[in-house]
């Protein structure tokens, strides 16, 4: 029924939004995203309640690439509430978001370390890992989350420099960060990679982005087989349409495209919130997922149900 509540979240974007060219900022989203509140239902009515940790990641050291905003921020804050110390990378232009994320982690009673880092630059991956290890001494959980996308209607009009840039950040830098981080990980540690529903469904205006996300799924499966004997689990999460700065910051997306984002999707007609995805990362990083490796969890509101 149309009069029944769809969600307790601010599920509908009413205003055009333009952060084209990026990087996008959480601080500029309208409505603001939700990073920490879970949706509960009672008597057919939804309400929100703050995520409460229970020590699933007590004293773990977590490195997140692209952790200043969106899904990365939600993952960092929820893992901090589970007892982890968090280090994350961000671009200089994202300093406003990074400062807020640091505060949210510290408010959870854990240590936060923000690292300015452009993973498109040579040696950036090694420098970030080295800085993290200098700060925390070890890496227990690696979350490969940094990514970019630009839209293009037709491959004939595509810019190969943009394609190369997208592959460089989304998958090549993931290889690089993992290469350097794995040396500081031991039996019982784990990796969680950010894939996408686009890696399974494809997206006709995001050819290069879709391709990199498909590559990440295969990277996850192969790396899980390689590192399994060492006791290091490797999994991924494939989000659908989530209300993060990546949406309005996507070059080629008109501002009007943000209005009603996701409301025509079925069976859950709304964009997801970062917190709704972040819980999957917490699960995969925790003892709850001790027998899970090489897996990809789909959090997309049901728009794609392929395994």
CA distances from 148 to 41, 143, 166, 187 (A): 35, 16, 6, 31
- Strand ranges for the chain from DSSP E: 37-42, 45-50, 61-64, 85-90, 112-116, 141-144, 190-194, 233-239, 296-299
Q: Which of 180, 209, 281, 283 is catalytic?
A: 209
Which of 26, 37, 29 minimizes the C-alpha distance to 98?
A: 26
Residue 209 designated active-site: yes
- Tell me if 269 sits within 8 A of 263, measured CB to CB: yes
Which of 37, 127, 44, 140 minimizes the C-alpha distance to 89?
A: 127
d(CA 103, CA 114): 11
The residues assigned a catalytic role are 209
């Amino acid at each position: 029924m149309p009069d029944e509540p769809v969600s307790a979240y601010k599920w509908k974007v009413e205003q055009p939004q333009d952060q084209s060219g990026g990087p996008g900022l959480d601080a500029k989203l309208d409505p603001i995203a939700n990073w920490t509140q879970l949706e509960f239902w009672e008597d057919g009515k939804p309400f929100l309640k703050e995520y409460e940790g229970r020590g699933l990641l007590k004293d773990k050291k977590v490195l997140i690439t692209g952790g200043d905003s969106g899904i990365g921020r939600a993952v960092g804050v929820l893992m901090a509430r589970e007892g982890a110390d968090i280090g994350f990378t961000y671009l200089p232009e994202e300093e406003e978001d990074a400062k807020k994320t640091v505060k949210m982690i510290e408010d959870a009673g854990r240590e936060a370390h923000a690292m300015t880092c452009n993973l498109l630059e040579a040696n950036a991956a090694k420098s970030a890992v080295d800085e993290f290890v200098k700060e925390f001494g070890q890496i227990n959980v690696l979350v490969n989350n940094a990514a970019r996308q630009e839209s293009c209607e037709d491959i004939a009009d595509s810019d190969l420099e943009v394609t190369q840039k997208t592959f460089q950040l989304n998958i090549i830098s993931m290889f690089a960060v993992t290469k350097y981080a794995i040396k500081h990980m031991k039996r019982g540690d784990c990796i969680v990679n950010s894939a996408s529903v686009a890696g399974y469904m494809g997206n006709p205006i995001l050819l290069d982005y879709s391709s990199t996300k498909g590559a990440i799924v295969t990277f996850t499966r192969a790396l899980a087989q390689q590192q399994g004997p060492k006791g290091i689990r490797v999994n991924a999460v494939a989000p659908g349409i989530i209300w993060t700065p990546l949406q309005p910051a996507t070059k080629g997306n008109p501002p009007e495209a943000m209005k009603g984002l996701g409301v025509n999707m079925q069976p859950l007609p709304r964009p997801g919130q970062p917190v709704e995805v972040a819980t999957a990362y917490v699960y995969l990083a925790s003892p709850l997922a001790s027998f899970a490796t090489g897996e990809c969890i789909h959090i997309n509101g049901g728009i794609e149900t392929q395994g």
